[in-house]
């Protein structure tokens, strides 16, 4: 516990910080953060009434999901899991934290974004940064050499959150991977088929899947005269081509990374190329490119891949794009990324401060990505035994954002429950009868609700149905009880009719079966 | 980075620790833990070949779920979520970590079990300890005054893991709560109805639901002469009655907690009482008990509760038991706990070291519990506005353990995929034809697989079906292709017959619709 005077001093300083930020017109996000710290300090001190004041918020970069968001989330998951299951995938789960050591050396520069747990005695632990490294750890630990699995779970990155664009510090990943020694490009093609199916089914608008190969990139760098030790850094500059113009990318290569202008221009020529199997064939004949054995291996695989994609009927959306260069260190072969091409369904981008895309026709960002990583599992195996893997990660948070936006714009209300019928009463003192009836319905598997009041008003019971989209009301009154019937009301049409208790359950099922 | 010599010194010391433990015949768990630390140190040093040696394990007290465990988990979740939805519940989700302050002061002594995150700059964070406190924070933060919601998610406790008994440091909680100002005991009764439905549907064997009320306990302590400041500590001793004999509980009260023998004996009389509505009526007439206003309020509510439970048709399993005293500080009214009463389906208990139950007929432990907590939300509201809540938590990890054990014992194999058909070939070089057919099936929504080999052996394709329970094989050969048919094989019966490509999809659906 800190001393009271110390806290008061800290409050004074923090107050200055907030005032300064406000006077400097800092971003709302920044000010909010400092205000939260101030409130926290004040809370430590306690209010005048001695009552502890809480800061009522979730941790920075995280959010609650309310019932409406959960309903949308469930729908999206059902579509995606349905596709994974159609392709015969099993599922696994791993703990939310791993030994710190398990994550060490897997993420390059991004390692600084890993959340560590406090050392409270015992092992040093970190929150998982993605699902791929735990998957590789799982395979090595259990000596599994082939599996087709999906894993949907939250991962954690101490990144600068941009929540308006669907970027959080806690977010879902949704991964499908095929591990095992198989004939080239068959599992790789299935991953692309899966992306195609999911994006089509979710109906997010038109999309494109860009494909490239790590070996083609490396070969290209070699034949363009990039020094070996600059491959990675030049690659990460190429990766910015989806957000920056070529001119700026070139400037970065030449001015910041010290590449010769000539080499940069040669790269510029290649990375502007897009096509299909034909482009791969052309590049295999390319005087320069064909000098690289690596590039040729990659190009042959791209050809093979497209032949399978034709059989899978997905070539209309797939494009071989030499500018695609995904960041992660562990990719060894094919890489791919899916982008939505309709600007209209983009996640809200109202953080102008960061100079976000303002053009109309830019791609609205990646909604899936992945590739082949044949070396990762071997990093965990004591004997270095390799298990070739290829996988795809669905950018589920961005998809949630888009679906939420669509739901906002749509006239249709999102239901957050599946209740089929409300057991109501127009008269007082019929609670027991309502409870008896709702028990009958529950026992028959009908989704039903009753108000937790002894004598609720009929109007408020009907209002609840309207608000939560419950389609039917079963109304009980003295007369109905005498006659052994229930008055069934259709909420949408307001039609009402009596039905015998014996027939009620079948009638409710009949009327709600299409829902 | 530590110095090499320092690490070598640490390895030496840690080696001593391990040797000492072994010589002392310490528990396997303890030794394993220290050995892991030793390996970790050695790994830091690097092997002779300069290759980094990883400790391949999950964090202490956590586990991976393999596909078989996931299949069981999915089945259990479906049953439970089905019940929650039948009762009209919405669902929400909250972040895995909260501001540390949010959890402060909610768990009494158990606060030491909270996992904190490392201070990496910014807010102080802790992993959630349960789902109830985040729920209360959510309600207060969003000013929600009534909701019926379920939340299934993992929570974290730095407890001593007893994984053989299904006790982990990372484990699922599965909560259903009703928040809102309603007429007494109606939502409380629905919570018990839900426990009854879930335990019946999961078919875990016979069970009992014990019910008591915090106010009855407090009233009982008062009339038995327990000093006010000893209520909580005596209550936690009473809570041990399900694991300890009355004699030992009494000893703890008198010898350790300084209660008079007379007071202890009076408590002993009450806590041996079990019954139903009749017992509540009797106690309302009890000379001593009736002196406590609190106890009378609780007893009247128990009476009311039982009248609703009768309407819900669940009184055969519910018992009013004055010895039930759940630990958590935040309960204010009704409390309850469900226990399985058949010893046969108990989770494996082979950790004798902890002196676990060895008797035959003791209850095998709680599988659900909950109660009313009318004050918790108010702790988060700046103005202290209260939102009455009642809820239940299903002990899902224990249920997983039991279901896994049942699956082990059962002859039926647990399927980990839902694949309906495998597209196979008896001849070489038919990969393209297989891919064409599997695409047709996928596009029709059939769950189908194909081997990722150009020319797999028919036997290995059939073997895969046997192993993973795929019921059908669609076999392609030159002849079938010529005839425009597919040979469909029933894996179980080995029956084979030709079917036209046009009729294939309907036939697969027909044969796998009951699955």
Per-residue pLDDT of chain B (515 residues; tens, 9 = 90+): 446 677 777 888 888 888 888 888 777 777 777 877 777 777 666 544 444 556 799 999 999 999 999 999 999 999 999 999 999 999 999 999 999 999 988 887 788 999 999 999 889 999 999 999 999 999 999 999 999 999 999 999 998 877 666 679 999 999 999 999 999 999 999 999 999 999 999 999 999 999 999 999 999 999 999 999 998 889 889 988 888 899 999 999 999 999 999 999 999 999 999 999 999 999 999 999 999 999 999 999 999 999 999 999 999 999 999 999 887 678 999 999 999 987 554 444 433 333 333 333 334 578 999 999 999 999 998 888 899 999 999 999 999 989 998 898 888 888 999 999 999 998 888 999 999 999 999 999 999 999 999 999 999 999 999 999 999 999 999 999 999 999 999 999 999 999 999 999 999 999 998 64
- B470/chain A closest Cα distance in angstroms: 10
Angle at B104 between CA B100 and CA B107, to 5 degrees: 125
Closest by CA to B128, choosing from A59, A120, A171, is A59
In sequence order, the 6+-apart residues with CB closer than 8 A to the CB of B5 are: none
CB proximity list for A440: less than 8 A, separation 6 or greater: A501, A505
Q: Which tokens is B458 given?
A: 């028919």
Contact criterion met (CB < 8 Å) for A99 and B449: no
Q: For residue A454, what is the DSSP state?
A: S
Helix (H) or strand (E) holding A106: none
**DSSP 8-state class, residue B105:** T
For the question of whether the overall pTM of this predicted structure is more than 0.90, the answer is no
Contact list, A94 vs chain B (CB under 8 Å): 58, 64-65
Mutate to test the interface with A, among B61, B77, B118, B313 (most CBs of A within 10 A): B118
Global ipTM: 0.85
Report chain A residues whose CB lies below 8 A from the CB of B95: 58-59, 62-64, 170
Task: With residue A337 as reference, give the H or E element that holds it.
Answer: strand A334-340
Backbone angles phi, psi at B393, to 5 degrees: -120, 125
Q: Is A359 exposed, middle or buried (0-12, 13-18, 19+ CB in 10 A)?
A: exposed
Question: What count of Cα atoms within 13 Å lies in the side-chain half-sphere of residue A398?
Answer: 18
Beta bridge partners of B320: B211, B275
pLDDT at site B351: 39
Nearest CA in chain A to B440: A312
The residues, any chain, with a CB within 8 Å of residue A478's CB and separated by 6 or more, are: A427, A430
CB distance A345 to A204 below 8 Å: yes
Alpha helices of B87-114 — where are they, by DSSP H? 100-103
Alpha-helical (H) ranges within A447-500 are: 458-468, 478-483
Judge: A55–B101 Cβ closer than 8 Å, yes or no: yes
SS3 A57: coil
Nearest residue in A to B103, CA atom:
A54
Burial class for A23, CB neighbours closer than 10 Å (0-12, 13-18, 19+): exposed
The beta-carbon contacts of A404-412 under 8 Å, at least 24 apart in sequence, are A404/A69, A404/A72, A405/A345, A405/A347, A405/A348, A406/A345, A407/A68, A407/A72
Q: Flag residues of chain A having pLDDT under 50.
A: 1-2, 47-51, 345-363, 515
- CA gap A317, A276 in Å, rounded: 10
Among B95, B145, B198, B418, pick the best mutation site for testing chain A contact (most A Cβ within 10 A): B95
A128: its two tokens? 């998982």
Residue B383 is predicted with a pLDDT of 86
Q: CA–CA separation, B31 vs B168, rounded Å? A: 18
The CA R_g of chain A, rounded to the nearest whole Å, is 29
Which chain B residue shows the shortest CA-CA distance from A454? B183
Predicted local distance difference test score (pLDDT) of residue B164: 61
* pLDDT score, position B54: 63
Q: Are B62 and A419 in contact (CB < 8 Å)?
A: no
With CB atoms and an 8 Å threshold, state whether B99 touches A416.
no
Which chain A residues are within 8 Å of B435, Cβ to Cβ?
186, 308, 311-312
Closest chain B C-alpha to A141 CA, distance in angstroms: 6
Tokens, residue A28: 């709302």
**DSSP alpha helices (H): ranges in B312-444?**
376-380, 396-409, 431-443
pLDDT at position B17, please? 84
Cross-chain CB nearest to A117 (options B64, B115, B141): B115
| Cα of A312 to nearest chain B Cα, Å | 6
Q: CB of A32 within 8 A of CB of A378?
A: no
Which residues in B lie closer than 8 A to residue A119 (C-beta atoms)? 118
User: Do the strands A207-213 and A318-321 form a parallel or antiparallel pair, or are they unpaired?
Assistant: parallel
d(CA B367, CA A254): 66
| Closest partner CB to B53 (pick from A382, A435, A442) | A382
CA distances A247 to A232, A242, A254, Å, are 20, 13, 11
Contact A170 B313 (CB under 8 A): no
Are the beta carbons of A116 and B117 separated by less than 8 Å?
A: yes
- Asked whether the beta carbons of A156 and A170 are under 8 A apart, the reply is yes
Dihedral, B103, B105, B111, B114 alpha carbons, nearest 10: 10
Task: List chain A residues with CB under 8 Å of B73.
Answer: 93
Q: What is the pLDDT of residues A221-278, one digit of tens each?
A: 999 999 999 988 898 899 888 888 999 999 999 999 999 999 999 999 999 999 999 9
- Using alpha carbons, list the distances in angstroms from residue B404 to A419, B80, B121: 32, 17, 43
Q: Given this model, what pLDDT does residue B13 score?
A: 83
Q: Quick check: A101 and B54 CB within 8 A?
A: yes
Distance CA B450, CA B464 (A): 10
Find the CB nearest B88 among A86, A101, A417: A417
- β-partners of residue A422 are A449, A473
CB contact under 8 Å between A417 and B70, yes or no, is no
The helix-helix angle for A28-45 and A4-23 (nearest 10°) equals 160
- B395 touches B175 (CB < 8 A): no
Please tell me whether residue A368 adopts helix, strand or coil conformation. Answer: strand
Q: How close, in Å, is residue A436 to chain B by CA atoms? A: 5
Which structure tokens are listed for B59? 């964090």
In chain B, which residue's Cα lies nearest the Cα of A314? B439
Nearest CB to A186; choose among B65, B448, B452 = B452
* Phi, then psi, of B228 in degrees rounded to 5: -50, -45
**Interchain CB distance below 8 Å, A182 and B452:** yes
The first and second tokens of residue B68, run together, are 């078989």
Q: Strand, helix or coil at B334? A: strand
Rg of chain B's alpha carbons, rounded to an integer? 29
Compute the nearest-CA separation of A457 from chain B (Å): 14
Order across the sheet with A421-425: list the strands: A448-450, A421-425, A472-476, A485-490, A496-500
> Closest to B96 (Cβ–Cβ): which among A170, A180, A419?
A170
Contact A439 B311 (CB under 8 A): yes
Virtual torsion, Cα A462, A466, A470, A473, nearest 10 deg? 20
């Amino acid at each position: 516990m800190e001393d009271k005077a110390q806290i008061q001093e800290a409050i004074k300083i923090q107050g200055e910080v907030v005032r300064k930020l406000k006077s400097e017109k800092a971003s709302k996000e920044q000010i909010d953060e400092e205000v939260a710290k101030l409130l926290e300090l004040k809370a430590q001190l306690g209010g005048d009434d001695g009552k502890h004041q809480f800061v009522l918020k979730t941790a920075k970069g995280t959010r609650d999901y309310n019932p409406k968001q959960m309903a949308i989330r469930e729908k999206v998951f059902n579509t995606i899991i349905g596709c994974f299951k159609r392709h015969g995938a099993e599922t696994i789960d791993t703990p939310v934290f791993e030994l710190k050591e398990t994550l060490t050396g897997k993420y390059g520069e991004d390692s600084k974004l890993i959340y560590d747990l406090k050392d409270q005695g015992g092992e040093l632990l970190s929150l998982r940064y993605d699902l791929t490294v735990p998957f590789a750890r799982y395979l090595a630990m259990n000596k599994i050499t082939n599996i087709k699995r999906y894993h949907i779970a939250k991962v954690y990155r101490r990144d600068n959150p941009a929540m308006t664009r669907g970027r959080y510090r806690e977010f879902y990943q949704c991964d499908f991977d095929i591990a095992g020694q198989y004939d080239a490009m068959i599992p790789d093609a299935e991953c692309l088929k899966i992306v195609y199916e999911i994006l089509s089914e979710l109906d997010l608008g038109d999309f494109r899947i860009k494909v490239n190969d790590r070996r083609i990139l490396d070969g290209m760098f070699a034949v363009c005269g990039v020094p070996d030790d600059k491959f990675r850094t030049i690659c990460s500059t190429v990766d910015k081509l989806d957000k920056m113009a070529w001119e700026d990318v070139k400037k970065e290569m030449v001015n910041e990374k010290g590449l010769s202008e000539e080499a940069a221009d040669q790269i510029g020529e290649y990375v502007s190329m897009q096509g299909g199997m034909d482009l791969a064939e052309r590049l295999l004949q390319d005087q320069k490119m064909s000098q690289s054995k690596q590039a040729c291996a990659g190009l042959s695989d791209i050809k093979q891949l497209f032949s399978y994609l034709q059989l899978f009927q997905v070539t209309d959306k797939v494009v071989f794009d030499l500018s695609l260069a995904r960041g992660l260190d562990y990719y060894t072969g094919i890489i791919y990324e899916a982008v939505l091409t309709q600007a209209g369904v983009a996640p809200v981008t109202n953080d102008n401060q960061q100079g976000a895309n303002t053009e109309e026709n830019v791609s609205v960002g990646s909604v899936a990505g992945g590739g082949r990583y044949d070396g990762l599992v071997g990093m965990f195996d004591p004997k270095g035994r390799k298990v070739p893997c290829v996988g795809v990660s669905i950018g589920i948070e961005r998809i949630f954002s888009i679906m939420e936006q669509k739901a906002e714009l749509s006239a249709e209300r999102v239901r957050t429950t599946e209740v089929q019928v409300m057991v109501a009463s127009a008269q007082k003192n019929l609670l027991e009868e309502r409870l008896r009836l709702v028990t009958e319905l529950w026992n028959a598997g009908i989704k039903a609700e009753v108000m937790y009041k002894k004598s609720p008003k009929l109007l408020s019971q009907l209002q609840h149905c309207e608000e939560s989209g419950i389609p039917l009301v079963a109304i009980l009154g003295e007369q109905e009880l005498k006659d052994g019937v229930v008055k069934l009301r259709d909420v949408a049409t307001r039609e009402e009719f009596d039905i015998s208790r014996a027939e009620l359950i079948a009638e409710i099922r009949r009327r709600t079966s299409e829902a």
